Amino acid sequence: GLPELREEQQARSLLRQRYLRSLLAMRDAQVRFRMYERVHVEARFGASDIDVLNFQVSDLQTPIGVQKEALLRCPDMISYSLEL
């Protein structure tokens, strides 16, 4: 019914706002990415697209060298971490 819809909307809204805030706060931060196939990389975070499919990063440190500008695929990631 309507009350349940409102509850769902409010929950979704709170959760999404918090997530967007966390993404915005990541701008220019050093982020470590743990990816599939035991791949670990680190880069300076730039921005995310809104569907959380791509991360735009700079100075990506890969196992074989630095790529100045890169796009990382979120489906390739298991987790990412940073320090505030």
Partner 1 sequence: DSERSAQPPAERPGERRRAEMKILYGEDASKILGMETAMQLTFDRNCDRKQPKYWPVIPLKL
Partner 2 sequence: MNEWREKKPQEWRRYVNNEVKVTAHEKQECQGWVFTVDPVSASVVLVNFQDTGRTCVTVVMGHAVEAVEILKEGGPEMEERLSSLFMPTGHHGLTK
Count of Cβ atoms closer than 10 Å to residue 55 Cβ = 23
* Residue 62 lies near partner 2 (rule: CB under 8 A): no
Minimum distance, C-beta of residue 47 to partner 2, in the bound complex (Å): 15
* Residue 66 lies near partner 1 (rule: CB under 8 A): no
**Distance, C-alpha 76 to centroid of its chain:** 11
Beta-carbon contacts of residue 24 (< 8 Å; ≥ 6 apart) = none
Give the contact letters, 20-59, x = binds to partner 1 (CB under 8 A), - = no: x--xx--x-------xxx-x-x----xxxxx---x-xxx-
What CA–CA distance (Å, rounded) separates 23 from 27?
Answer: 7
Residues in the site for partner 2, rule: CB under 8 A?
A: 7-8, 11-12, 14-19, 21-22, 24-25, 34, 36, 50-52, 74-75, 77-84
